[in-house]
Amino acid sequence: MTVGLPQYLVVSGVLLALGLFTIVTRKNAVAILMGVELVLNAGLLNLVAFSRFGGGLDGQVFALFGIVLAAAEAVVALAIVLQVVRAQRSVDASKASDLKE
């Protein structure tokens, strides 16, 4: 069996599902960030896959940019998490709910 676009998309979908699951279920803010990375990479995988089977190299270049941006985003996100931990002595994301109504 040849590996085609659907297989990539399935993998990507699995990744997205796992990522979302992680985000929604985990309490640890760092774990939630890891879930976010999974979701992001699912998206990037899609870009690469469509680029490989469909158009030019644009998607792959875009994916490279996305990886770099993900690194930067992780830095910012981790900094925020650090601040949250410092503020409330916990990494439990569900406790950081000061902005509720």
Partner 1 sequence: MHEAAPVLQEFPLLFLVPLLPLIGAVWNGVMGKTMQRRFGHAAIHLPAILLPAGSFVISLWAFLTLADAPHGTSMYNHLWTWLPVGTLQAEAAFLMDRLSGVMALVVTFVGTLIHVYSTGYMKDEPAYWRFFAYLNLFMFAMLTLVLGDNFLLMFVGWEGVGLCSYLLISFWWRDREKAVAGMKAFVVNRIGDLGFSLGVFLLFWGLLTTPASPAPAKAHGEFRHAPAAAQEAPEATLATSIAFREVEQILEDPVKRDRIVNRDILGVGLMTLVCLLLFVGATGKSAQIPLYVWLPDAMAGPTPVSALIHAATMVTAGVYMVARLHFLFTLSPVAMTVVATVGALTALFAATIGLFQYDIKKVLAYSTVSQLGFMFVAVGVGAYWVAIFHLMTHAFFKACLFLGSGSVIMGCHHEQDMRKMGGLRKLMPITAVTYFISCAAIAGFPFFSGFFSKDEILWKAFDSGNMLLPGGGVILWAVTAIAALGTSFYMFRSYYMTFSGEYRGAAAAHGHDASAVAHDPHGVAYDSAHGAVHGAPPADPHGHDSHGHHGAHLPVESPAAMTGVLAVLGGLALVGGYVGLPLLWGLPNAFEAWLEPIFAGTAERVTSAGFGHGAEWGLMGFSIIVAFGGFFAARVLYKDGRSPIPARLLASPSPLVQATHRTIFNKYYVDELYGVVFVKGSLVLSRGLAIWDTRVIDGAVNLAGTIGRGFGFLQGAIDRLFVDGMVELVAKVVEAAGAKIRRIQTGHIQAYVQGLALGALALVALAYLLAW
Residues of this chain that bind partner 1 (CB under 8 A)? 20, 23-24, 32, 93-94, 96-101
Q: How many CB atoms lie within 10 A of CB 47?
A: 19
Torsion of CA 5, 59, 11, 2, to 10 degrees: 30
Q: How far is the CB of 21 from partner 1 (least distance, A)?
A: 10
Q: How far is the CB of 101 from partner 1 (least distance, A)?
A: 4
Residue 94 CA to residue 76 CA, distance in Å, equals 19
Q: How far is the CB of 22 from partner 1 (least distance, A)?
A: 10
Q: What is the amino acid identity at position 8?
A: Y
Tell me whether residue 28 or residue 60 sits nearer to partner 1 (CB atom): 28
